């Protein structure tokens, strides 16, 4: 069976890889001259400018996401850098007790907690309450990756999953907090202003802050040396090594349909590419396990056609 894929971003490349692994013939049509889509970076002089992956979840071998990435590329060939400071915020109106007007959001939770308590001992309880949900998150594999299992092992896993109730409790407890509402918990004016400015003055849900910090502390969300482009190229290499075909500088002009069913593509050079299935990739990420489910459906479709 032949499958045409529109878009050579991470989703298109991942779709192509898994389809090739499962015996499909695939072609990816990309209007740019390089892979990656939004997952891109570029160099100017000695500097790398990255517009996408400031960190990659699953950069350590103990993570479930590492296992997923490892299906698409050799993760051991990628060097990751783990930052000591996630962000440094400059305050406008208030200085800390040392006269400094910059707040350091350390990626090490112990160091962050000690740093904040040193600056604002009067807020020790609020600071510990800020750190605690992240420690809770570290107990769990988030998000949980559920592989297909036989019935009994699946039931046993389901029973073990009940321990996620602790995570659910803390999630429901903090899900409505933002950096603004949490800032009000601090008596110290420097900490209060720092939290309000964490996202350039915007109000953002605390889960967007807490979830990354919980994995930064475990060194499970590093930055790929070389940037997003190098990361995308390694997935492209896997796709090509599996026998897939890339068509660069080939924007799709039209999806050819017959009776409401996609049958092929009309591309820039007015060539017709016919297929059994068409995948139009619109998102930067796909749920890879869902893609495997899609492949099983395709295989079932092939078996039905044979009969």
Q: Which of 30-39, 75-84, 190-199, 289-298 is predicted with the least confidence, judged by mean pLDDT? A: 289-298
151-160 average pLDDT score: 82
pLDDT of 33 higher than 50: yes
pLDDT of 298 higher than 80: no
Q: In a 3-state reduction of DSSP, which class is residue 18? A: helix
Q: In a 3-state reduction of DSSP, which class is residue 234? A: helix
Q: In a 3-state reduction of DSSP, which class is residue 157? A: helix
Q: For 164, which DSSP code? A: G
User: Please, which residues have CB within 8 angstroms of residue 209's CB and are 6 or more apart in sequence?
Assistant: 179, 198
Q: Which of 101-110, 236-245, 256-265 is predicted with the least confidence, judged by mean pLDDT? A: 256-265
Q: What separation in angstroms does the CA of 171 have from each of 179, 255, 285?
A: 15, 43, 24
Mean of all residue pLDDT scores within the chain: 87
Residues of the chain above pLDDT 90, percent: 64
Q: Which of 92-96, 151-155, 284-288 is predicted with the least confidence, judged by mean pLDDT? A: 284-288
Q: Say if strands 245-247 and 25-29 run parallel, antiparallel, or are unpaired.
A: parallel
2-52+228-306 CATH pick, 1.10.645.10, 3.50.50.60, 2.40.50.180, 1.20.120.80: 3.50.50.60
pLDDT of 141 higher than 90: no
Report the largest interatomic distance among the alpha carbons of the chain, rounded to a whole angstrom: 78
Q: Give residue 266's pLDDT.
A: 85
* Residue range(s) of every CATH 3.50.50.60 domain in the chain: 2-52+228-306
Tell me the per-residue pLDDT of 38-89, one tens digit each, with 9 for 90 and over. Answer: 999 999 999 999 999 899 999 998 788 898 899 999 999 999 999 999 999 9
pLDDT of 302 higher than 80: no
Tell me the per-residue pLDDT of 81-131, one tens digit each, with 9 for 90 and over. Answer: 999 999 999 999 999 999 999 999 999 999 999 999 999 999 999 999 999
- Considering the entire predicted model, what is its pTM? 0.79
């Amino acid at each position: 069976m032949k499958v045409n894929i529109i878009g050579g971003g991470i989703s298109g490349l991942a779709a192509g890889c898994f389809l090739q692994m499962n015996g499909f013939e695939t072609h990816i049509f990309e209007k740019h001259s390089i892979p990656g889509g939004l997952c891109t970076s570029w160099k100017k002089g000695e500097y790398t400018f990255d517009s996408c992956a400031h960190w990659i979840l699953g950069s350590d071998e103990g993570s479930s996401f590492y296992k997923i990435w490892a299906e698409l590329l050799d993760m051991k060939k990628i060097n990751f850098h783990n930052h000591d400071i996630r962000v440094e915020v400059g305050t406008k109106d208030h200085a800390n007790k040392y006269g400094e007007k910059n707040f350091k959001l350390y990626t090490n939770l112990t160091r962050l907690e000690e740093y904040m308590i040193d600056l604002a001992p009067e807020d020790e309880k609020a600071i510990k309450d800020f750190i605690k949900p992240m420690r809770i998150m570290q107990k769990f594999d988030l998000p949980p990756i559920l592989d297909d299992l036989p019935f009994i092992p699946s039931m046993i896993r389901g029973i073990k999953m009940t321990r996620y109730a602790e995570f659910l409790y803390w999630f429901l407890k903090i899900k409505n907090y933002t950096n603004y509402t949490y800032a009000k918990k601090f008596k110290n004016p420097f900490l209060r202003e720092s939290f309000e400015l964490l996202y350039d003055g915007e109000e953002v849900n605390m889960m967007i802050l807490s979830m990354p910090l919980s994995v930064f502390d475990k060194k499970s969300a590093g930055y790929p040396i070389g940037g997003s482009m190098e990361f995308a190229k390694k997935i492209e290499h896997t796709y090509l090594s599996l026998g897939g075909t890339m068509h660069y500088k080939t924007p799709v002009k039209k999806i050819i349909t017959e009776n409401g069913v996609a049958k092929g593509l009309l591309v820039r050079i007015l060539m017709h590419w016919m297929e059994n299935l068409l995948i139009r990739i619109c998102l930067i990420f796909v749920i890879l396990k869902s893609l495997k489910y899609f492949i099983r459906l395709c295989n079932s479709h092939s078996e039905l056609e044979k009969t």
